[in-house]
A and B are shown apart, each in its own frame.
Chain A
């Protein structure tokens, strides 16, 4: 027997586990197994319904083909444009509101009371899904794009102010001190030391949020918030699945285009 084989037989090398603590590792595994058993036990899949649904699903999917762009093209165009207006206005207004809140929510530049108020605003607007917000704003402001615009603005504030504040907290403090030591006022200090440091990320985040807002504008319409979602919902309600397919295709193409464009703009900015 050669030496190599002997070592191989004696102690085999094993991959180190992801979680080092064996008790935690086994505990998590057992917990996961129990949870999965409980979850699958209560899920109640009605397999006969699923089985019945499959041919129906096939018909349903076939009803989507081919996408019919022509019949409802005016409505689709209208919905898309409305979504775009909502996206643009909501992103602009949302970011405009986020800037002061983001400044206030940054621990290194805001005094404690302001910090807590701003953090509470951020947490409040982040804790609800856009759809739930939309339901309430439709209730308050009536049907149509205005409710969607308010919804997306509020959602933008939660997202943008939080990330902006994190970015300000991570900035290089020495530059800020250098500007302050020249005797700059507070606004000058902000403009010449804080803003240049957060600007690249600020622009990247704005584009990213524009992208998200367009995507979300496609669903706030389902609960009455205007835009392409309203058109989509109408198409579903009228069982015009070929038009619905056309709308989905248009959304996917626009989202892909926006993602591609924003990737390019971000690369060009840096």
Chain B
């Protein structure tokens, strides 16, 4: 306990003087970095436009309301496409992520020095490139449309799913694996009877979680031409049809809320 003497009495203090000074110093440095960064941003900002934002927002709001409900009949197909992009993309990612995860986990990888780094590299490069950038690349290769969206979501999700899955595999109970090994089971049998049953709940949770994220992400892929409701969104913004934009945003919110509800339900039933 840290104390200090004052008028001959011992008083409780939270921290020693040195710690307190270190904390103040850290705050000072942090604040300085923040102010410096903000000042650099502020130099690149046209403040007239920023100050104007309030009137702009009111103007935009008045153009968006009421939403153009008649536009809804055009939107059913893009919604279906969006859901397909998310679902098929997640499926594709899972098919690839499962072997990658088994190769990346310390306790199941065939070789820690050779195979594991390659698997980790796949995971990292898939994770660090955003799905929008993946879509930008893939639209150029396979052409605009839903297919590019599925591939973009798929490539982006491999890393995420494989990372969470291999962490789950590393956390399994080794005793069960040993028990299966003791029966004389072959390597593949050990995997399917000792490892897989232990990670199956985690696997289901991860898939549904990623599917939920992918629904959100697939709503914007259309901005670069990769299918889904984003195509309508960017078209409506381009033609300044703000009442259509408002309706699309409402539809996106509704889709996201429903998908979140579904994923919460499914996860509860597994875990």
Contact = CB atoms under 8 A, between A and B. Distances in A.
Contacts of B190: none
Contacts of B84: 39, 42-43
Interface in A118-156: 127-129, 131-132, 135-136, 139-142, 144-146, 149
B132 A131 contact: yes
B168 interface: no
B125 A252 contact: yes
Contacts of B57: 140
Interface in A8-46: 15, 18, 35, 39-40, 42-46
A43 to B, nearest CB: 5
A195 to B, nearest CB: 11
Contacts of B50: 141-142, 146
Contacts of B45: 141-142, 144-146
Interface of A: 15, 18, 35, 39-40, 42-46, 49-50, 53-54, 56-57, 60-61, 81-82, 84-86, 88-89, 92, 127-129, 131-132, 135-136, 139-142, 144-146, 149, 215-216, 218-219, 222-223, 226, 232, 236, 248, 251-252, 255-256, 259
16 contacts: A18-B270, A49-B142, A53-B141, A56-B140, A56-B141, A60-B141, A85-B38, A127-B256, A128-B252, A132-B249, A135-B237, A144-B46, A222-B136, A248-B129, A248-B133, A256-B128
Most buried by A among B50, B57, B197, B204: B50
A226 B44 contact: yes
A204 to B, nearest CB: 15
Given A42-B84, A43-B84, A141-B53, A89 B46 contact: no
B56 A140 contact: yes
A86 B87 contact: no
Do most interface residues of chain A lie in helix, strand or loop, or is the interface mixed? helix
Given A18-B200, A39-B84, A128-B249, A146 B41 contact: yes
Interface stretch (B3-11, B104-112, B145-153, B171-179): B145-153
Size range of the chain B interface in the assembly: 35 or more
A252 to B, nearest CB: 5
Nearest to A56: B141
Given A81-B40, A88-B37, A256-B128, 5 more contacts: A42-B84, A46-B145, A85-B40, A140-B56, A222-B223
B140 A57 contact: yes
Contacts, number: 142
Contacts of A145: 41, 44-45
A129 B53 contact: no
Interface in B6-59: 30, 33-34, 37-38, 40-42, 44-46, 49-50, 53, 56-57
Do most interface residues of chain B lie in helix, strand or loop, or is the interface mixed? helix
B71 interface: no
Contacts of B44: 82, 144-146, 226
Contacts of B224: 222
B153 to A, nearest CB: 13
Contacts of B128: 215, 251-252, 255-256
A5 to B, nearest CB: 17
A86 B141 contact: no
A31 B39 CA distance: 56
Contacts of B143: 46, 49-50, 53
Contacts of A146: 41-42, 44-45, 50
